[in-house]
Amino acid sequence: MSNIMPHEMSEHNGRPSADAVESVSIETLPNEILSQIFGYLDTLPPSYSIEALHDEPKPDITSSDDHPLKSSSLVSERWREISKPVLFKHAQFIVRKHPSGRVTLSQQIKPFLDFVSSNSLHAIRSFTLLSHECGVTDDPQGEYRLNNPANFWFSLFQVIDPIDLLIVAAPEALGALTSCRVYLTEAWNFDCPCHYLRLQRKTEASTVRLGAAVPDKALNVTSDSQADGLMDNTSANLSSSTSSGQGSLRNHHSNASALFAIRPWDKLLLNEGSFIKAYATYEFWLRKAPSVNLIGSATPTDKAQISPTIRDMSYIAMFPMCNHFADLTENLPRLDRLYCQLVPRNEILSDPRKMVQVESEDLWMERNASYAALMRELFNSPPSNNYQHLKIFESGDAADRAAWGMAVEYVKRAGNGWKVGGDGVFVRKQEDIKPSEGETEEQPTTFHGSLIRWAWNGTAELPVSAYPLYDHPMGP
């Protein structure tokens, strides 16, 4: 029954007058409705931007001036509590340099983990770790030990279970966090204050793989079933023992990296930033960049730390030297998809401060040589090692127009199902992969293998053409 008296009705339409309608405040809405409203204010973090991840690495990649959900959470205590599950869906933690220098990673992150537990924020989907400290360690004495971040990662993944992990750190810190070797002797030649390492997986793990170590046979995984078996059967505990450093080679190497073994990651992105500064040095092509050795290429005794479950890898760098890029081309992990981007998309080439004493022709020549080496491996006869399994190669860079035209003519003659799928794109169907007529095992086709997509980011006339490198169609 209405509480509005007849005399409060409007004379014109019989509806309640404005004065009679009781004002409604958003505070009267139930928590469930408010939670839905806050959900519409949720936006992806800046670190999810492909453009940002493929650009020159910056420590402030997570910073943004647009944060409506965070602003709303500051309105009242009630709004804060209601918005927490959405607000902390994408979390970050910053490792700062402690005055005493004796605070371990596990000690630093404990307040954050306590906060997550006390507020039941276990549904964190993505986690970003930013390190402002180069000498990262989880040892109370500040020493570097084999896999000493293991307890840190175990503690973290006992509380949260993100499907997206981004580490923003200097090469030295990234090496410590991943238990990988990093060569630092010539780091001063390079202008790369931080790198990006991003790991992703499709769904949350059904069980927490604490203490799992990847056995040596993981290095020669040749099928998906083998990879799954390795992850399910890795039960050896990660050990910690003091490493023996050799000069500036800090060895965080062990039988397995806790970070890679703790979850079945399937996608990896590594952005090593700009190599341009080193081109101003004498014999720049011999310079060794500070780079985490994920694929075990520094010495013959090194073993790959990359998880055997990873099938999609993106490598981004700004004009890496061909000798450095060769570490990837010669030690390619077992992948289904490889993405490379070697040319910057920002205006760094127009910045006189970045190009001091640098000959731009050198940059493009190294770019061309790097891709030529990769093309040679892709279309070897027959494809060697893990190239025989690669299904997709994509580049964020434009192909040299002259070299591309030559490749198109060659593909038309070679056949084997290949078709031009667009400017800079070759495609074929899986069922079209078959030996050419009259082909023998001793003389396999150039296009024998699993590759079904070979795509550039269009074509362009490059400052230095790659055409002279291709004396025969698929390699120098």
Question: What amino acid occupies position 282?
Answer: Y
Residues 6+ apart with CB under 8 A from 39: 86
Beta strand pairing status for 425-427 and 419-422? antiparallel
Q: Which two tokens stand for residue 116?
A: 């997550």
C-alpha 312/C-alpha 392 separation (Å) is: 9
- 104-113 long-range Cβ contacts below 8 angstroms, 24+ apart: 104/137, 104/138, 104/139, 104/140, 104/152, 105/136, 105/137, 105/138, 105/149, 105/152, 106/138, 106/151, 106/152, 106/155, 109/152, 109/155, 109/156, 110/155, 113/155, 113/156, 113/159, 113/160
DSSP 25: -
C-alpha 209/C-alpha 231 separation (Å) is: 9
Q: What pLDDT sits at residue 98?
A: 72
Most confident of 144-153, 188-197, 221-230: 188-197
Q: Are 260 and 214 in contact (CB under 8 A)?
A: yes
DSSP-assigned letters across all residues of 33-56? HHHHHHHHH----GGG-HHHHTS-
Buried b (16+ CB within 10 A) or exposed e, 7-42: eeeeeeeeebeeeeeeeeeeeeeeeeebeeebeebe
At 44, is the pLDDT very low, low, confident or very high (cuts 50, 70, 90)?
confident
- Neighbouring C-beta atoms of residue 201, cutoff 10 Å: 18
User: Tokens 């990662």 label which residue?
Assistant: 153
| Separation in Å, CA 257 to CA 16, 136, 215, 266, 363 | 70, 15, 11, 15, 34
Q: Which two tokens stand for residue 378?
A: 């892709």
Q: What pLDDT sits at residue 15?
A: 62
3-class SS of residue 111: helix
- pLDDT mean over 433-448: 53
**Lowest-pLDDT range of 79-88, 266-275, 453-462:** 79-88
C-alpha 342/C-alpha 456 separation (Å) is: 12
C-alpha 208/C-alpha 280 separation (Å) is: 48
Q: What pLDDT sits at residue 179?
A: 87
pTM across the whole model: 0.82
Q: What pLDDT sits at residue 418?
A: 87
Q: What pLDDT sits at residue 404?
A: 92
Question: What amino acid occupies position 379?
Answer: F
Q: Is residue 14 pLDDT above 70, yes or no?
A: no
Q: Is residue 137 pLDDT above 70, yes or no?
A: no
pLDDT exceeding 90 applies to what percent of the chain? 44
Most confident of 13-27, 253-267, 385-399: 385-399
Q: Are 372 and 434 in contact (CB under 8 A)?
A: no
Residues 6+ apart with CB under 8 A from 420: 408, 411, 426
DSSP 472: B
Question: What amino acid occupies position 193?
Answer: P
Q: Is residue 473 pLDDT above 60, yes or no?
A: no
**Domain locations along the chain:** 28-358, 391-476
Q: Are 278 and 172 in contact (CB under 8 A)?
A: no
C-alpha 50/C-alpha 376 separation (Å) is: 28
Q: Is residue 104 pLDDT above 50, yes or no?
A: yes
At 124, is the pLDDT very low, low, confident or very high (cuts 50, 70, 90)?
very high
Give one word for 126, left, alpha or beta, with left for phi > 0 and alpha for psi -120 to 50.
beta
Give one word for 389, left, alpha or beta, with left for phi > 0 and alpha for psi -120 to 50.
alpha
C-alpha 217/C-alpha 308 separation (Å) is: 10
Higher pLDDT, 252 or 405: 405
* Cis amide prior to 344 (ω within 30 degrees): no
